[in-house]
Amino acid sequence: MDTILVIGAGGQIGTVLVQALQQKFGLNRVVASDLKTPQVFSGIFETLDATKAEAITALVRRYEVTQIYHLAAILSASGEANPIRTWELNMQTVLNVLEVARVEKVSKVFIPSSIAVFGPSANPVNTPQQSFLDPTTVYGISKVAAENWMQYYYTKYNLDVRSIRYPGVISYQSMPGGGTTDYAVDIYHKAVQGQDYECFLSEDTRLPMIYMDDAIRATLELMEADADQITVRNSYNLAGLSFTPAEVAAAIQHFFPTFQTTYKPDFRQQIANSWPQSIDDSAARRDWGWKPAYDLTRMTEDMIHHLDHQYHADLTQV
């Protein structure tokens, strides 16, 4: 029976992924870990500094871990404030996970990548799986390096490591952690609380996004696929939907007609300008049957429904 170790379980994706894995494998078959212990948590939690390989090894041996999901990283916008620290943490943790998995014979490893691997040289529309990667952030640089290391460990050691290039992830379950696409989460929180929103990107900045439910389902579907189905061993392109701040603001106005958005681009605009507008994920669709379930309308309805319960907003007037 599989036992799963999730590193970076307290992050935006990790908090939701842990719950999905617990539902699939059982509460006592998932070991969640992060630097800080959560105030409320159901299941097994271990404090872990993933920059220490010996600490990862200890958990793998103690719980007889068969799969590792490594989600810990400093993200794009936060990473630009301290690029050397971002490189050191992002790369050391990836190398530790890969090497521990090799030595301890872990059966499967998941290490996410990001659309941040793309830069100005990539075709911005339907960016293909095989593109020249010239990222403009240290986060993107670290993800390109991680993709190459994943390919190396698969080719040299036959380590079954799998990856997805996540677009911007939108969720009601947790707040984002310092990414350039954070506006697409913040804007819903402000709207449901009855506040207007000042966006740090221009109104016509189109970026690839994905709803959390789709992101988690894609992750599990990739990890469940037979190994001989997997043809991409650096990282799969993944598409959900693409929209601009103006378009998501308009979708929110169907529920909150008086909601207003202003635009004040900051340093994150330059990062966004270097990223794709849409993604070609035909390899994922072909290899393991990926297909997104959420469009902008359905996502907006679901976000507002769940945030309504969180904030006890009064939607009766709409």
Tens of pLDDT, residues 118-165: 999 999 999 999 999 999 999 999 999 999 999 999 999 999 999 999
For residues 45 and 109, membership in a common domain is answered with yes
Provide the residue count of the chain. 318
pLDDT at residue 315 in the model? 47
Q: Enter the pTM of the model.
A: 0.93
Q: Encode pLDDT of 257-298 as tens digits.
A: 999 999 999 999 999 999 999 999 999 999 999 999 999 999
Residue 36 belongs to domain with CATH number: 3.40.50.720
pLDDT of 318 > 60? The answer is: no
Residue 39 falls inside a structural domain: yes
Residue 286 falls inside a structural domain: no
* Percent share of the chain, pLDDT over 70: 97
Q: Of the residues 63, 69, 139, 236, which is catalytic? A: 139
For residues 15 and 164, membership in a common domain is answered with yes
For residues 162 and 245, membership in a common domain is answered with no
Q: How many distinct structural domains can be found in the chain? A: 2
Confidence of residue 312 (pLDDT cuts 50, 70, 90): confident
For residues 194 and 66, membership in a common domain is answered with no
pLDDT of 246 > 50? The answer is: yes
For residues 246 and 110, membership in a common domain is answered with no
Find where tokens 């970076």 sit: 8
Residue 48 falls inside a structural domain: yes
For residues 303 and 154, membership in a common domain is answered with no
Residue 289 falls inside a structural domain: no
For residues 150 and 68, membership in a common domain is answered with yes
Confidence of residue 176 (pLDDT cuts 50, 70, 90): low
Q: Encode pLDDT of 100-110 as tens digits.
A: 999 999 999 99
List the domain range (segments joined by +) for residue 179: 171-209+241-275+294-311
Give CA–CA dist 229/247, Å, rounded: 36
Q: What is the mean pLDDT of the chain?
A: 95
pLDDT of 185 > 90? The answer is: yes
Q: Encode pLDDT of 30-60 as tens digits.
A: 999 999 988 889 999 999 999 999 999 999 9
For residues 126 and 181, membership in a common domain is answered with no
Confidence of residue 178 (pLDDT cuts 50, 70, 90): confident
Give CA–CA dist 80/267, Å, rounded: 10
pLDDT of 242 > 80? The answer is: yes
The three-state DSSP-derived secondary structure of the chain is: CCCEEEECCCCHHHHHHHHHHHHHHCHHHEEEEECCCCCCCCCEEEECCCCCHHHHHHHHHHHCCCEEEECCCCCHHHHCCCHHHHHHHHHHHHHHHHHHHHHCCCCEEECCEEHHHCCCCCCCCCECCCCCCCCCCHHHHHHHHHHHHHHHHHHHHCCCEECEEECEEECCCCCCCCCCCCHHHHHHHHHHCCCCEEECCCCCCCEEEEEHHHHHHHHHHHHHCCHHHCCCCCCEECCCEEECHHHHHHHHHCCCCCCCEEECCCCHHHHHHCCCCCECCHHHHHHHCCCCCCCHHHHHHHHHHHHHHHHCCCCCCC
Residue 283 falls inside a structural domain: no
- Other CB atoms within 10 Å distance of the CB of residue 91: 18
For residues 46 and 118, membership in a common domain is answered with yes
Residue 221 falls inside a structural domain: yes
Note whether 99 and 151 are within 8 A (CB): no
pLDDT at residue 316 in the model? 45
For residues 52 and 10, membership in a common domain is answered with yes
Q: Encode pLDDT of 16-26 as tens digits.
A: 999 999 999 99
Residue 30 falls inside a structural domain: yes
Q: Is 157 a catalytic residue?
A: no
Residue 317 falls inside a structural domain: no
Note whether 6 and 71 are within 8 A (CB): yes
pLDDT at residue 130 in the model? 95
Q: Phi, psi (5° rounding) for residue 316?
A: -65, -25
For residues 177 and 306, membership in a common domain is answered with yes
Question: Domain ends where: 191, 222, 237?
Answer: 237
Give CA–CA dist 127/45, Å, rounded: 38
For residues 163 and 181, membership in a common domain is answered with no
